[in-house]
């Protein structure tokens, strides 16, 4: 799979930076005879663009151009699926000619090549969807997890389009969306029915999960990752979440659980499979070390993680630096992967020791002249991680808490332009600082 980061940074979907909880994936096709993914970039990289998907697949090369961070809410299907599903567009063969609606013609001599082109994009889509299912703990065979635009319409979460099934039908391809979902499951290496769940597995809950008794389950439970404490028949008891901040000891039917990552287990408080977690994972929330320095709490880590976004495969950031997880760069190599978001948070916490250290430095050097609360420390660490030590010193030097809180809001620009995502982050940091 060749994934090319090509963010459309002036598109309103990018500048708003509104996050969603990924519940599924939606497959589209572009509905015009344009095989080149690059040709779509100028149209969508515009402040005037009204819509946006997360990625385009080139019909000639199979290359995938990612146009939005996966967790950003896009506008790709004209319905509620915009807030739950990642949208991916397959480019279409050059030889087809559209008439009314979704009907097109294709010369007989070009039909075989057109079919090959569609299969090329489908192959790339299978690889991409398997990658995304692994990253977000999705079951490719789960109800409503992987859908076409047409199926989204049938479910009432998308507008009335017929793609991409119209390609299969009119090019006389022996292919269906069920074939696509099975291919993704095969690429992922497991299906819901085949996955054996064991005590110690880290699992994610499906969107429709309820407790074993039938009682409704709050979203904060469904949106976390949990460790299986015990299993009896189809009944699993969930113990602690991975961060260790909550423990529910509640039974859930196994059908609602998906194992996160391949072979990842929580076997005790300091080990995840064969991968040892670093000491940074176990710094107590709001703790103060023997030398009097503060550490960022779990609440601060979650705030930072929410705005940084997570990538489990190494990628080049806009500055050309290899990066992974929540912005970690030290020692990152091309092709490197992380098994889960929890592993990424271990690296984030290690990085935050450095940025929390800058906040402690400001206290020790007298730049901050008042005693910091834990929430103030967390908010300033988040700010420093995003804006740097120089900006932190400028923000806090010689100012009281109320002035710092107000000045935080001014740091919402990049390249001289205001960004909605930065505005929201500064607002959340200020709210935490004042709590």
Helix (H, G, I), strand (E, B) or coil at 418: strand
The single residue of 71, 127, 281, 308 carrying the catalytic annotation is: 308
Q: Which two tokens stand for residue 304?
A: 């930072």
* Residue 350 is among the residues annotated as catalytic for this protein: no
Ranges of H-type helices in 54-211: 108-136, 149-154, 165-170, 177-188
Cis peptide preceding 164, ω within 30 of 0? yes
Helix (H, G, I), strand (E, B) or coil at 154: helix
Q: Cβ contacts of residue 75 below 8 Å, gap of 6+?
A: 13, 50, 51, 52, 82
Strand ranges inside 242-390, DSSP E: 247-253, 257-259, 266-268, 271-272, 275-276, 311-316, 322-325
**Alpha-carbon separation of residue 406 from 223, 387, 403, 416 (angstroms):** 32, 16, 5, 19
Radius of gyration of the chain (CA): 24
* Residue 317 is among the residues annotated as catalytic for this protein: yes
Q: Which two tokens stand for residue 123?
A: 């192959």
Indicate the helix (H) or strand (E) that contains 345: helix 341-364
Which residue's entry shows tokens 């009335």?
Answer: 160
Of 432, 423, 352, 359, nearest to 397 by C-alpha is 359
d(Cα 168, Cα 163) in Å, to the nearest integer? 9
Active site residues: 308, 317
């Amino acid at each position: 799979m060749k994934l090319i980061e090509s963010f459309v940074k002036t598109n309103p979907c990018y500048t708003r930076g509104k996050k969603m909880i990924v519940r599924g994936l939606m497959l589209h096709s572009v509905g015009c005879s344009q095989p080149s993914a690059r040709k779509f970039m100028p149209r969508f990289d515009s402040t005037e663009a009204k819509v946006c998907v997360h990625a385009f697949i080139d019909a000639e090369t199979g290359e995938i151009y990612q146009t939005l961070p996966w967790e950003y809410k896009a506008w790709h299907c004209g319905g509620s699926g915009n807030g739950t599903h990642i949208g991916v567009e397959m480019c279409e063969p050059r030889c087809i000619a559209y008439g009314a609606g979704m009907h097109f013609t294709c010369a007989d001599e070009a039909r075989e090549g057109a079919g090959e082109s569609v299969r090329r994009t489908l192959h790339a889509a299978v690889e991409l969807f398997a990658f995304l299912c692994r990253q977000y703990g999705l079951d490719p065979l789960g109800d409503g997890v992987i859908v076409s635009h047409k199926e989204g319409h049938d479910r009432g979460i998308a507008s009335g389009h017929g793609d991409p099934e119209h390609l299969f039908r009119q090019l006389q391809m022996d292919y269906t969306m069920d074939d696509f979902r099975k291919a993704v499951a095969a690429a992922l290496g497991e299906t819901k029915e085949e996955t054996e769940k064991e005590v110690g597995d880290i699992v994610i809950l499906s969107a429709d999960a309820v407790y074993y008794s039938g009682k409704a389950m709050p979203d904060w439970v469904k949106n976390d990752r949990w460790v299986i404490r015990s299993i009896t028949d189809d009944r699993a008891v969930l113990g602690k979440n991975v961060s260790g901040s909550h423990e529910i000891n509640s039974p859930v039917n196994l059908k609602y659980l998906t194992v996160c990552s391949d072979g990842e287990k929580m076997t005790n408080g300091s080990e995840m499979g064969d991968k040892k977690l670093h000491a940074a994972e176990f710094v107590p929330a709001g703790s103060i070390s023997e030398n009097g320095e503060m550490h960022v709490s779990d609440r601060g880590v979650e705030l930072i993680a929410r705005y940084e976004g997570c990538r489990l495969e190494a990628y080049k950031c806009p500055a050309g630096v290899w990066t992974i997880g929540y912005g970690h760069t030290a020692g990152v190599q091309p092709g490197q992967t992380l098994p889960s978001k929890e592993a990424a948070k271990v690296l984030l916490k290690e990085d935050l020791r450095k940025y929390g250290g800058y906040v402690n430095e400001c206290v020790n050097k007298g730049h901050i002249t008042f005693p910091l609360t834990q929430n103030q420390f967390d908010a300033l660490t988040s700010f420093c991680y995003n804006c740097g030590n120089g900006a932190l010193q400028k923000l806090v030097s010689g100012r009281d808490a109320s002035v710092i809180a107000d000045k935080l809001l001014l740091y919402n620009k990049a390249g001289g332009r205001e960004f909605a995502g930065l505005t929201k982050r500064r607002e959340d940091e200020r709210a935490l600082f004042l709590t």
